[in-house]
């Protein structure tokens, strides 16, 4: 017996999918019509049965058992709206993913249809990367990545490996993560790759690696990033995110690296957390070194990435798998999200654009309400929020903001040639000589684990840290 189906989206992808189902699905599905907000009559002799808000009524009236979402250019907000209506209708749904080949060449097949993922819920329609630009940056260059085993670092490794660098110098303190990364790259036998265990806080170790491998381009992704943990351990945040950054950035200048790319965060804007403050100071360090050395120092600032270690998405998924509760800090809290591959794609584009001294700010799209996202993720897992899976409000944690900013009013974003990349300057207003001496004092005190003095000095550099 055929399954009665509905296609969401009467555009090119939806029409191609309809023909694919009619010709190649072995009579498995009986498509009864389209849902579309813009088209109101017929497409391919199929009726338009309503708009997105009509999905529950159409499903019930037509006896629909499966819905195909065929809008590969859809923003995450639209996908979440469709999932919400499908959940109300208690109907099974599948999606055509955002793939460059689909968007560019209208290549759609039933084989591509899959369950909805968190990337679909939060991501944006992807843009085709400018392969020539990235290749001109990477090909035949010695590329070093710190924090190579981390979420951003490992994706940098994977994408850069496709553009024929002469060497990949992978530096991280996390032995298990480096082992896993090594296994991922094991088949790339023609790629010269070096897995180096080391701590960015160890200046001698950092200097020896630069001396031995002479990197042309350095991506500095190593950092402590968890806000509440760093609030409890401010001296460690200073040692890793400031001292470590200083060590790597200094070596880049002394060993004539062409470009140094510092991975920053939206939490560096008007920071109220130790983690954010250390990243703001890291930005100031690389901008200072850009005036001293021939190396082109660049920072790239963006918000949360989906699926990174310890981030909200895998946390929610674990909580749902255990039957809840899903813990939300505050019902009004919002965050920016970006997929890890998209973030890294834009980091590489920024690295190409940079001529030294810039802070690039990535367009993060629309901010997401965390409570709404938690509810949608519960529905995506086949449950009803508040009924099958409880949601528990636990309160804002130390160092957290209700919403993140990507720049201050003083920094003023400027457009670049890429429509998802903007440029600004760090807003720390302090003379370079004083900044460097203050950082040296900060590092010295942090090495004695004097947390109270650390906080006092940081608040002198960054007014938003005064509590």
Please identify every residue annotated as catalytic: 267
- Do 156 and 217 meet the contact criterion of CB atoms below 8 Å apart? no
Kindly write down the DSSP assignment for every residue of 291-346, as one continuous string. HHSSSEEEEEE--EEET-TT-HHHHHHHHHHTT-PEEES-TT-EE-EEEHHHHHHH
Query: Helix (H, G, I), strand (E, B), or coil: what is residue 422?
Result: strand
Residue written as token pair 């130790």 = 274
Give how far Cα 171 sits from Cα of 2, 168, 181, 222, Å.
55, 10, 11, 9
**CA-based nearest residue to 222, from 254, 253, 197, 199:** 199
Any residues with CB less than 8 A from the CB of 416 and at least 6 apart, and which? 353, 360, 422, 423
Complete DSSP assignment for 228-281: HHHHH-HHHHIIIIIIHHHHHHHHHHHTT-SEEEEE--GGGSS--SHHHHHHHH
Report the C-alpha gap between 79 and 123 in whole angstroms.
9
CA angle 402, 404, 409 (to 5 degrees): 120
Q: Among positive and negative, which fits the CA dihedral 162, 163, 164, 168?
A: negative
Residue positions counted in the chain: 467
Q: Which two tokens stand for residue 465?
A: 């840290």
Q: Which residues contact 349 (CB under 8 A, 6 or more apart)?
A: 129, 130, 133, 134, 418, 421
CB 229 within 8 A of CB 155: no
Residues of 370-402 as b/e, b for ≥16 C-beta within 10 angstroms?
bbbbbbbbbbbeebebeeebebeeeeeeebbbe
Q: Using CA atoms, how far apart are residues 377 and 198, in angstroms rounded to an integer? A: 38
- Cα 93 to Cα 78, 80, 289, 385: the distances in Å are 14, 12, 53, 18
Separation CA 409–CA 427 (nearest Å): 9
């Amino acid at each position: 017996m055929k399954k009665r189906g509905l296609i969401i989206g009467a555009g090119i992808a939806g029409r191609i999918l309809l023909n694919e189902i009619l010709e190649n699905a072995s009579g498995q599905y009986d498509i009864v019509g389209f849902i579309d907000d813009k088209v109101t009559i017929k497409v391919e002799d199929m009726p338009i049965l309503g708009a997105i808000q009509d999905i529950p009524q159409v499903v019930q009236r037509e006896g629909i058992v499966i819905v195909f979402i065929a809008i590969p250019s859809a923003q995450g907000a639209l996908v979440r709206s469709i999932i919400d209506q499908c959940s109300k209708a208690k109907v099974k749904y599948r999606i055509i993913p955002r793939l460059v080949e689909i968007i560019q060449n209208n290549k759609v097949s039933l084989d591509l249809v899959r369950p909805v993922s968190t990337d679909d819920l939060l991501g944006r329609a992807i843009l085709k990367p400018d392969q020539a630009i990235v290749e001109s940056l990477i090909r035949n260059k010695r590329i070093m990545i710190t924090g190579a085993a981390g979420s951003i670092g490992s994706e940098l490794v994977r994408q850069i490996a496709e553009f024929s660098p002469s060497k990949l110098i992978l530096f991280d303190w996390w032995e298990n993560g480096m082992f896993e990364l090594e296994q991922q790259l094991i088949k790339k036998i023609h790629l010269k790759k070096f897995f180096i265990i080391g701590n960015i806080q160890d200046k001698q170790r950092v200097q020896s690696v630069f001396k031995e491998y002479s990197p042309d381009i350095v991506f500095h992704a190593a950092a402590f990033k968890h806000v509440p943990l760093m609030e409890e351990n401010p001296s460690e945040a200073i040692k890793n995110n400031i001292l470590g950054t200083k060590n790597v950035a200094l070596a880049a200048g002394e060993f004539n690296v062409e470009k140094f790319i510092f991975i920053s965060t939206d939490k560096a804007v008007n920071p109220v957390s130790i983690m954010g403050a250390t990243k703001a100071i890291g930005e100031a360090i690389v901008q200072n070194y850009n005036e001293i050395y021939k190396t082109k120092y660049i920072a790239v600032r963006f918000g949360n990435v989906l699926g990174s270690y310890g981030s909200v998405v895998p946390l929610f998924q674990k909580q749902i798998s255990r039957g809840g509760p899903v813990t939300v800090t505050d019902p009004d809290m919002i965050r920016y999200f970006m997929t890890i591959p998209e973030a890294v794609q834009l980091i590489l584009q920024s690295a190409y654009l940079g001529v030294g001294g810039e802070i690039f700010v990535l367009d993060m799209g629309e901010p997401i309400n965390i409570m709404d996202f938690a509810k949608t993720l519960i529905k995506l897992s086949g449950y009803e929020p508040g009924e099958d899976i409880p949601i528990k409000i636990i309160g804002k944690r130390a160092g957290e903001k209700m919403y993140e900013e990507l720049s201050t009013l003083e920094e003023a974003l400027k457009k670049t040639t890429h429509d998802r990349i903007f440029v600004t300057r760090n807003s720390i207003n302090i003379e370079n000589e004083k900044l460097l001496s203050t950082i040296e004092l900060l590092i010295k005190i942090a090495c004695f684990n004097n947390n109270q003095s650390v906080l006092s000095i940081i608040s002198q550099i960054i007014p938003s840290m005064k509590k």
